[in-house]
A = this chain, B = another copy of it.
């Protein structure tokens, strides 16, 4: 399969050095790189196109639930940030402060935070916009970058600046806020599972793990290729905490003044890192077709010069047909690179399907299709050029669901039910998810964290209802939780 071993060998070994492999893939596939600003990254065009494709799907899903977009200020006065006490405690340690402006380095009267998240600036704005129950619900999202100072940066996973969307809603009742919180969690779940082919466990965060200032936080947790967990999106029911802190009040139908109920929910460029770690292999990226910048790459192959024109003419015709069918196609007709080199390059870049067109294919009115997710002969087929776009579309759907199934099977195989803290330590030490009965005591949770490095990832929404004994206290409970080491 790999014609040019030297090319592929340059990636660190995925099994023995997962972190090195991850970094190699991200850099070599030109997704992102470290910026010449400490802790920050540059998202390169190939990586950004992935994010754009994700954005476009998510944005459509948001709008289907009546969410609209807007833009709120980047800079937040210090006095706003400190109004919600849990919130400020959670975020201020990571805040970058603007304190001066201009060449004379004029000091500002009040430092401005570069937004780490926008509850503290949206709160006072919503307080103005929300006057009556008729102004509710307020359902607004913004796409932007945020800054959280990061001491141990890793591309996509932890950087001082990252890109995300943050939705902020306000409601007339607690029930409606809870319903919205869960609705957006479901948007995240369906996006991750259906479009990113990443199976997730939707669940509730423990008190210790929830968003600073939230009433409760829901999360979608995914298992990476090394068995560690990654929080892929969160949806917070903020109760009336922020409404009280920022005075978001409205007159209800009986003309009484009430506090609004708010939510916020976010998903970030982190999911690109998750996608790398869930689907990638020793040859590099493996991209889910629905978000792949190119769903197929066509590589023309010829030996003799007299073959070239016929091959390129066929490639051009095939590319046009496939593009017209709405398939994202890249033609790599560059010269000075061998076909083998190109195979490796586009495998590294994770393109779901490679289409080879050589002189014999021109003669036979056929092409060779090679699936990225199945190396070697098993993933290859010779098909007619007639009806190719229908065939390819079906193949892409098949790859999409194969990636999901493979990841789901991996997670299933690496999730272990445990009853004792010692067992839990062994399981998470072996980079697996430990599922255990847990009543919710913060002391036991902290003890496990100290002893094993594992945190409660979530209390899954789906529970068996069967009773067992809490792993930390031995007391009866019907609640199970997932424990794992996490990114």
Contacts and interface: CB of A to CB of B under 8 A. Distances in A.
Interface of A: 35-37, 40-45, 47-49, 51-52, 68-77, 80, 92-103, 105, 111-112, 114, 121, 124-125, 140, 144-145, 147, 149, 160-161, 163
Identical copies of this chain, number = 2
B74 A147 contact: yes
B98 A37 contact: no
B114 A98 contact: yes
A149 B35 CA distance: 25
Contact of A71 (B43, B111, B125, B140): B43
Contact of A161 (B40, B43, B73): B73
Given A40-B75, A72-B35, A74-B147, A99 B102 contact: no
Closest CB pairs A-B (n = 4):
A45-B68, A43-B71, A40-B73, A92-B103
B43 A70 contact: yes
Contact of A80 (B36, B74, B105, B144): B36
Contact of A101 (B35, B52, B71, B95): B95
29 contacts: A35-B72, A36-B77, A36-B124, A37-B75, A37-B77, A40-B73, A40-B74, A40-B75, A42-B70, A42-B73, A42-B125, A43-B70, A45-B68, A47-B70, A48-B70, A49-B68, A52-B69, A71-B145, A75-B114, A75-B147, A92-B103, A94-B101, A95-B101, A96-B98, A97-B99, A97-B105, A98-B99, A99-B100, A102-B149
A339 to B, nearest CB: 19
Contacts of A43: 70-71
Given A37-B76, A75-B147, A75-B161, 7 more contacts: A42-B73, A71-B145, A73-B161, A92-B102, A93-B103, A98-B99, A101-B149
Contact of A36 (B71, B125, B144, B161): B125
Nearest to A41: B73
Contacts of A96: 75, 98, 100-101, 112
Given A112-B37, A125-B36, A71 B99 contact: no
Of the candidates A41, A42, A74, the one having the most CB atoms from chain B within 10 angstroms of its own CB is: A74
A44 B73 CA distance: 11
A486 to B, nearest CB: 23
B97 A98 contact: yes
